[in-house]
Amino acid sequence: MLTSGHLRTGEPRRLAAQVRRSGELAAASTELRVRAAAAVAGATALVSMSTAHRDRLRRLRGVVAEVRPAPAARPPRLVSRVFTLAGIGAVRQLIRTAAAGAGLSRRAVPDFVLAVQELMTNAVRHGGGWGCVRLHRDGPVLVCVVSDRGPGMTGDLTRMGRLPDTTTAAGGRGLFLAGQMTDSLHLKSSPRGVIVTVTMNLPDGGPPRPPAVGAAAPAIASGTS
């Protein structure tokens, strides 16, 4: 049996073990506090670096915005219409009025209007029954673009608009007439359609160009020719 003397002898050992355990816990707590402080300091440094980088990016964006040239303004469209066969006559009148207002000479206006009419007729006949015409002024030049969404053209495109050959492709005569009545004709064809661009030089550069304004969405032209 254990005596009271044995119990008194074991008590100091237990106290010593508890003291050692308390010291170990205190050391571990101190280490945790040190690690937590280091983590907080690291997070603070990361936030500071992020803020500095963000400020640098803002300054760089401002420099780039100042150096980057402003986009060139697109020339305002004088006419922009989607047309069918029934609307060619109405669009023709719009082209006539716009061309005269842009400064095209009275002698050149009828030829230019007839050239555009031939192109619109080709677009309707060979491009699915409708097309799109856009007229604008590019400096001293009047530019008209007629496009369709047909299957495209075949044959030697370099000859079209230069020779009155109707055997190479449909619409060859109309292209020839358009090329003869304008200062230049450019043809582009693909399976997604045909784009024909004709130009006329304005005498003395034409009247002052009006300020650019937002062009309205193309409208379906109606009426009879």
Tens-place pLDDT, residues 146-167: 999 999 887 666 666 565 555 4
Tokens of 9: 């002898």
Q: Are 78 and 97 in contact (CB under 8 A)?
A: no
**What's the pLDDT tens digit per position in 89-145?**
999 999 999 999 999 999 999 999 999 999 999 999 988 899 999 999 999 999 999
Separation CA 195–CA 122 (nearest Å): 11
Output the pLDDT for position 30. Answer: 84
**What's the pLDDT tens digit per position in 27-64?**
888 888 888 888 888 788 878 887 887 888 787 777 66
Q: Average pLDDT, stretch 185-195? A: 92
Q: Is the pLDDT of residue 222 over 70?
A: no
Q: Which tops the pLDDT comparison, 191 or 212? A: 191
Output the pLDDT for position 52. Answer: 80
CB atoms within 10 A of CB 121: 17
Output the pLDDT for position 204. Answer: 75
Minimal CA–CA distance to 155: which of 134, 135, 172? Answer: 172
Output the pLDDT for position 164. Answer: 58
Output the pLDDT for position 212. Answer: 41
Output the pLDDT for position 100. Answer: 95
| Least confident window among 32-36, 66-70, 206-210 | 206-210
Most confident of 25-34, 60-69, 174-183, 210-219: 174-183
Q: Is the pLDDT of residue 196 over 80?
A: yes
What is the DSSP annotation of the chain?
---HHHHHHHHHHHHHHHHHHHHHHHHHHHHHHHHHHHHHHHHHHHHHHHHHHHHHHHHHHHHHHHHSPPPPPPPPEEEEEEEEGGGHHHHHHHHHHHHHHTT--TTHHHHHHHHHHHHHHHHHHHTTSEEEEEEEEETTEEEEEEE--SS---S-TTTTTTS--SSSSTTHHHHHHHHHSSSEEEEEEETTEEEEEEEEEPGGG-SPPPPP-PPPPPEE--S--
Separation CA 145–CA 119 (nearest Å): 9
Place of tokens 């008590």: 11
Q: Average pLDDT, stretch 177-205? A: 92
Q: Is the pLDDT of residue 74 over 70?
A: no
Q: Are 135 and 79 in contact (CB under 8 A)?
A: yes
Separation CA 152–CA 173 (nearest Å): 16
Q: Are 123 and 148 in contact (CB under 8 A)?
A: yes
> Does domain 77-220 sit in CATH 3.30.565.10?
yes
Q: Is the pLDDT of residue 173 over 50?
A: yes
**What's the pLDDT tens digit per position in 3-16?**
555 555 667 777 77
Q: Is the pLDDT of residue 170 over 90?
A: no
Q: What are the CA-CA distances from residue 33 to residues 28, 45, 46 (Å)?
A: 9, 18, 20
Q: Is the pLDDT of residue 168 over 50?
A: no
